[in-house]
Amino acid sequence: MQLNHRVAVITGGASGIARATCLELGREEVKAIGVVDVSDDVFAACEEGNRTLGRDVLVPFKGDVSSTAFRQSVYAQMVQRFGPVHICVPAAGIVRDALAVKLDETGKAVLYDEHLFRKVIEINLLAPIYWAMEMIGTVAKDRAKRNLGRWEPEEKVQGTIIFIGSISSVGNRGQVSYAATKAGLEGAQATLAKEAIYHGVRCAIIHPGFTDTPMVRAMDPKLVREKILPLTQLRRLLRPEEVADAILFMIRNSAASGALWVDAGWHPPA
């Protein structure tokens, strides 16, 4: 897809993979990138990013991706200021790891906290799907206004969604909620890919391996050193910029459909 004058929305952009993606995309001739995050850091990240990029391309929005009103307001403001949104990378995500079932000292079976599970689903699964669908809506409305029906290849690709899955989507001990949401995104991606191409919008998913971001830095360093790094072919964590580079490749290259694994060769053990 040609990136010139395109408008993007990236969630989770105050940190890690999404922040690096904002910078990579900002280096292209895109018109504007709506950078969404629940953290106050989103303002400093955009200010610093704009300084690095030498132009005001990153537009910060602070709020929770699971709020419908917030999502609609971000899109309304982006469309009003810059026009329809063509690129969506709904990357905001959380981990809340615990065993699915464990026995307490009295022998009682303790199941993974149900409220926590719902929260992980809200943020990691429902939110990315709705942020993506909202973007498809902006393209669909714009094309309808121009009396365009079913998309034809001569029009060139009109939009791209890249979901952020994970190597954990194939199952990883201690990650029943996280893995379920990342696997769920596969189904959403496959379905939206089939539906959204009516409007000329592609949809794909990337599955990063362990990447050096605050999410992974919050893990036990011994676990990372002993259980993860030796089992990756690169024997190191991925850099957010490497994952961002792969995301940019997937946005640019319209032949890239389905899933890309950017995992440094690590796969969850039995």
Ligand X SMILES: NC(=O)c1ccc[n+]([C@@H]2O[C@H](COP(=O)([O-])OP(=O)(O)OC[C@H]3O[C@@H](n4cnc5c(N)ncnc54)[C@H](O)[C@@H]3O)[C@@H](O)[C@H]2O)c1
The span from the CA of 197 to the CA of 80, in Å, is 24
Tell me if 65 contacts ligand X by CB under 6 A: yes
The span from the CA of 106 to the CA of 108, in Å, is 6
Instruction: Using CB under 6 A, pick the residue from 208, 228, 244, 266 that binds ligand X.
Output: 208
| Burial classification of residue 211, based on how many CB atoms lie within 10 Å of its CB (0-12 exposed, 13-18 middle, 19 or more buried) | buried
Tell me if 123 contacts ligand X by CB under 6 A: yes
Q: Which helix (H) or strand (E) holds 19?
A: helix 16-26
Instruction: Using CB under 6 A, pick the residue from 3, 6, 10, 12 that binds ligand X.
Output: 12
Q: Please confirm, yes or no, whether 178 is among the known catalytic residues.
A: yes
Instruction: Using CB under 6 A, pick the residue from 3, 6, 10, 15 that binds ligand X.
Output: 15
Cβ atoms 11, 131 nearer than 8 A: yes
Q: How many CB atoms lie within 10 A of CB 240?
A: 21
Pick 141 or 236: Cβ nearer ligand X: 236
Tokens of residue 263, six digits:
């995992």
Span interacting with ligand X, options 33-41, 110-118, 136-144, 151-159, rule CB under 6 A: 33-41
Tell me if 177 contacts ligand X by CB under 6 A: no
Instruction: Using CB under 6 A, pick the residue from 121, 148, 216, 224 that binds ligand X.
Output: 216
Sheet of 201-208, strands arranged across: 58-62, 32-37, 7-11, 87-90, 159-164, 201-208, 258-262
Q: Which amino acid is at 259?
A: A
The CB-nearest residue to ligand X is 16
Tell me if 97 contacts ligand X by CB under 6 A: no
Tell me if 92 contacts ligand X by CB under 6 A: yes
Report the b/e string of 4-32 with b at 16+ CB within 10 A: eebbbbbbbbbbbbbbbbbbbbbebebeb
Active-site choice (75, 112, 130, 178): 178
Tell me if 21 contacts ligand X by CB under 6 A: no
Residue 184 in 3-state DSSP?
helix
Instruction: Using CB under 6 A, pick the residue from 91, 120, 247, 251 that binds ligand X.
Output: 91
Smallest gap, in angstroms, from Cβ of residue 154 to ligand X? Answer: 35
Tell me if 215 contacts ligand X by CB under 6 A: yes
* Residue 235 region by backbone torsions, left for phi larger than 0, else alpha for psi between -120 and 50, else beta: left
Number of residues that bind ligand X (CB under 6 A): 27
Smallest gap, in angstroms, from Cβ of residue 253 to ligand X? Answer: 20
Tell me if 259 contacts ligand X by CB under 6 A: no
Tell me if 175 contacts ligand X by CB under 6 A: no
DSSP-derived letter for residue 198 is G
Tokens of residue 146, six digits:
């121009």
Tell me if 200 contacts ligand X by CB under 6 A: no
Instruction: Using CB under 6 A, pick the residue from 39, 50, 232, 254 that binds ligand X.
Output: 39
Tell me if 14 contacts ligand X by CB under 6 A: yes
Residues forming contacts to ligand X in the complex (CB under 6 A) are 11-12, 14-18, 37-39, 64-66, 91-94, 123, 164, 166, 208, 210-211, 213-216
List active site positions.
178
